[in-house]
Every structure is written in structure tokens, then in C-alpha cells.
Amino acid sequence: MKDLIKKAAEDLKNAKYAIALTGAGISTESGVPDFRGPSGIWTKDPEAETRAYQSYGKFLEDPKAYWEDRLRGPSLLGDLEKVEPNPGHYALVDLEKMGILKCVITQNVDGLHERAGSRNLIEYHGSYLKLRCSQCGSRFGIKEIDLEKLRREEKLPPLCKCEGVIKLDVVHFREPIPVDAARKSQEEAWRCDLMLICGTSAVVYPFAQLPRLARKHTVEKETETESGLFLVKQVPATTIIEVNAGPTPLTEEGISDYLIQGKTGEILPEIVQEAKAL
Ligand code: APR
């Protein structure tokens, strides 16, 4: 493990454009449950996952009922106001401050990367702390609209200035990824020469396509044969590193170059420490 942490630090230092992709696993050490880990939300309650697949249809069909559901109780993730970023989130902020990490693309909707201080952040599945107009795509902080007041006055759903219906910014199953997040994420996945994938089972698409896109990216490299001839061959443009509690399809399919197995909250700070010593 120590060798791999050292290797990851060297790979990061040598990278010209490193990005990080994160999933729910990076937030479990903050007390936010993941979905498919041993005590994940879907693992413990498969029915909850089935219901989650109906959310977007419900919004399209009856936005007022969608909002009444939402305002009834706390999110599946618990009270996000009570949780704090953990050393894993802060390690990615350190790498950004060191000029190594250029972007974080997260599937998480808990807002913890933003609160930790990540600047160039793409919330691929949106955020529980934001609202978004389903027509013009404008985003608002969750506290910018008094939803409880609208509920009491029977004025749900909230409407945008463009008269579009406002929903949670969270991207529900079957809901298209907002175009701005989708396009920028693809650009980053294609542009990067190092992808650090932290705490995701990498089974949900289209996010899980991003490492596969990066894997497809090759560059020409000149090599000299023993007889002194120069050969030009295509080599992978991107080093893909996983930090995860266990192997994922990316590991099994050889999409990632190596997996550092363990807790992001412990491994990522060690990688930063090694990188600072180089
Ligand atoms: N350190 C490292 N890995 C961890 C940690 C930790 N502290 N805690 C959990 N993990 C691992 C789990 O073992 C699992 O492999 O992180 C991964 C989390 O996977 P999921 O629970 O599937 O979460 P994620 O990949 O983010 O899910 C993707 O699915 O339900 C949808 O929209 C939801 O964004 C979510 C998407």
C-alpha cells in the first residue's frame, strides 16, 4: 500500500492536468451513507432505490406532489446541515492549491466538496443544497426560495422568472445530466493525463463512462528499438488511479492502472503528504 501511495504521489506530481472523480465513498467518513457499500442506502433498503427511480417521473407528472413529498421529511442522506467535510475532501483541496488537481467531478449531492473549498468543481448529479429551473436551467441556493411558505400558501411548485417549474438541483435517475455539467465533464475527462477516482462503485452511467472515455485517449510516443530504429506507437494518454474500499468494474476491466484499497479519508492525505515531500 505504501508503495502505491508513493507511486500515486509521483504520478500526480508528474501529471500536467490531473482531475479527480468522486462518489459517495468519499463522504462516508463524514457520516453521509453511501448507496451500495455494505451499509449503503440501497443495500439496506432496495425498495428505496426502486422509489428513487420514480422521482423524476413524479416531478414531470405532478410537480406539486413532487414538492409535497420532498418537504415532508429529511433527505435520504440525512440532515446535510449537520455533517462536515472530512480529510479526504480536504486532501483534494490541498492538491488543487498545489496546482496539481485542476478539477473535481463529483457524483455527490451533499455539497461537501464545495464546503471543503474545492474551486473548480462539477456537481455531476447536482446538489441537495441547490434548486434548478427545469426550463432555463438557472440554479438557486435552497434558501433563496421559502418553500415552506409556498407550501402553506398552496403555491407549490416554485416557478422561475421564465415561468419554468423549479425542482431540486439533484439529478434523479432517468433525468438527463444538465448540459453544462455533462459537456464540461467530458472535456475534462478527455483533456486530463491523470484521473484520480475516489470512492465510487463506478456502476452508474453516464458518469461511469468518463473513465472509459479517458482510457480511450491515446497519444503517439516515439520509442527506439535495440537496432536504433525509431518506432512511433500509440500509448494511453491518461494514468487512471482508483482509491476505493474495494475493487470496482474499472479495476476488473483494467480501465484503471491501479487500485489503492482502503479509506479515502486516510489514503488521500497520505498521498498529499508524499507529494509535498517530492
Ligand atoms: N473510502 C473508500 N471507499 C469507500 C469508503 C471510504 N471511506 N466508503 C465507501 N466506499 C466505497 C464503497 O465500497 C463503494 O465501492 O465507495 C463506493 C461507493 O459506491 P456507491 O455507494 O455506489 O456510490 P456512488 O458510486 O457514488 O453511486 C453513484 O448512484 O444512487 C446513485 O446518484 C447516486 O451518485 C450516486 C450514484
Q: Report yes or no on 209 lying in a domain.
A: yes
How many other β-carbons are positioned within 10 Å of the β-carbon of residue 121? 20
Residue 228 DSSP SS3 = coil
Q: Atom 15 in ligand 1: which residue has the minimum CA distance?
A: 201
Q: Report yes or no on 244 lying in a domain.
A: yes
Q: Report yes or no on 81 lying in a domain.
A: no
What pLDDT is stored for residue 75 in this prediction? Answer: 83
90 bridge partner residues: none
Residue 231 DSSP SS3 = strand
Q: β-strands 194-198, 18-22: how paired?
A: parallel
**Is any ligand 1 atom within 6 A of the Cβ of residue 88?**
no
Compute CA 153 distance to the chain's CA centroid, rounded to the nearest angstrom.
Answer: 37
Q: Report yes or no on 21 lying in a domain.
A: yes
Q: Report yes or no on 67 lying in a domain.
A: no
Give the domain CATH number at 14: 3.40.50.1220
Q: Report yes or no on 195 lying in a domain.
A: yes
**Is any ligand 1 atom within 6 A of the Cβ of residue 172?**
no
Q: Atom 30 in ligand 1: which residue has the minimum CA distance?
A: 35
Task: Please confirm, yes or no, whether 113 is among the known catalytic residues.
Answer: no
Distance 26 CA to ligand 1 centre (A): 8
Per-residue pLDDT tens listing for the chain (278 residues): 899 999 999 999 999 999 999 999 999 999 999 999 999 999 999 999 999 999 999 999 999 999 999 998 878 898 888 999 999 999 999 999 999 999 999 999 999 999 999 999 999 999 999 999 999 999 999 999 999 999 999 999 999 999 999 999 999 999 999 999 999 999 999 999 999 999 999 999 999 999 999 999 999 998 888 899 999 989 999 999 999 999 999 999 999 999 999 999 999 999 999 999 99
Q: Where are the beta strands (DSSP E) in 206-276?
A: 218-224, 230-236, 239-244, 258-261
The DSSP result for 45-90, as a single string, is -HHHHHHHTTHHHHHHH-HHHHHHHHTTS--TT--GGG----HHHH
Q: Report yes or no on 269 lying in a domain.
A: yes
Q: Report yes or no on 119 lying in a domain.
A: yes
240 lies in which domain range? 1-29+86-126+178-278
Contact 28, 37 (CB under 8 A): yes
Distance 27 CA to ligand 1 centre (A): 9
Distance 242 CA to ligand 1 centre (A): 12
Output the CA–CA distances (angstroms, integers) from residue 268 to 53, 175, 214, 226, in the order listed.
33, 32, 21, 40
Distance 17 CA to ligand 1 centre (A): 25
CA distance 22 to 108: 7
Contact 265, 87 (CB under 8 A): yes
Contact 32, 81 (CB under 8 A): no
Count up the domains in the chain and report the number: 1
CA distance 110 to 29: 13
Q: Atom 10 in ligand 1: which residue has the minimum CA distance?
A: 25
Cut 0.85: pTM above it: yes
From 32, 34, 42, the mutation candidate for ligand 1 (largest count of ligand atoms within 8 A of CB) is 34
